[in-house]
Structure 1
């Protein structure tokens, strides 16, 4: 693709979300009614709102973020090193605040870009909406008000792969498979995150899954640019 920006200016990311409540019975009646109305088109006559609630995590109005994993390239002894870290836990406000601090301190320059797979449709707006819910001031990279399309510093590997074919969707798992990138979906997938979070209470497993997705997005961009994949020994987890 001959991408013209510097890889070191990109912050790769992925988020994991779950329904705000563990079970339908814990959802206030007023919210149940709103959820039923919001999902009526998707559910049609196949599911009740209660049966559909396990998917509530895909909507920022009814879901919450439990993990944001990020990755960024640094040059170490003439090799690319991908450093990965995560913000996670039960306190969504803290997750979002810590992520905002990262953006404001280290990725606020005009040259900095946020990159995710399907990020423009999901990750970026979901984070921004949840920040507004928590009354957190949006960082510059997520505040799109008044910006022209070419001024938005967001990169989406799904959009790049579409090549203008806007009806075409390719999952991260499929894209890594055809590009010869190790699959990030070797443990759980998105449909299982809520169960692992609420029932198994294994947030560390979710973090590992989220970080693998973040690494996969970075590797995909390297392949798009006809560059070598980053070696396993050069993928480093940092606190």
Structure 2
């Protein structure tokens, strides 16, 4: 999708900035892919299979969440460049890296929906970083891409630095789904980083309320200190 831009502005590695490739071989080797065992529900890496203590205490609304990588460099640097430095071509690069991971999950997905930004933040940034990853990933997986399937009906505070409880309260009731687009369908929610999973769970609640058959969630990265304060 971005080949024309790359001809004018030669690409640099998302992780280290080396000119010539979106992902250099060294950075590809440094990606800390999450391979398990993980919590069967939230995908949190743990020592054995099963359901983690957090999900036993309070089960998320989504059926399952998985993340491709630990939120650490080079993926952390790539996501910050995509999100804050307008390096929008990285959406395609990250989607290409994640395609095999998604195929391996073998989830029975009908449609893919990115977690939406609020109107103010979308106007300020100019794009939804989750959508820049979700669209090419949906295309690679042969899934229908439905960005209008979920909207943020009120502005929320940034989740950066909030505790698990604060994050959950911050996004409670923040989303609204389109019944005409999601009713009876199995949805894959896409976001950049999972921290506590509160945003994804609140999004899933809205989708189920509008008739979604099942909701799965996928993120590029997972912040492993997710139950404390995290700068993501």
Is the pair's TM-score, using the shorter chain for normalization, greater than 0.5?
no
The structure with more helix, counted as a fraction of residues:
1
The structure with higher relative contact order (CA 8 Å, sep 6+) is 1
Structure 2 length-normalised TM: 0.31
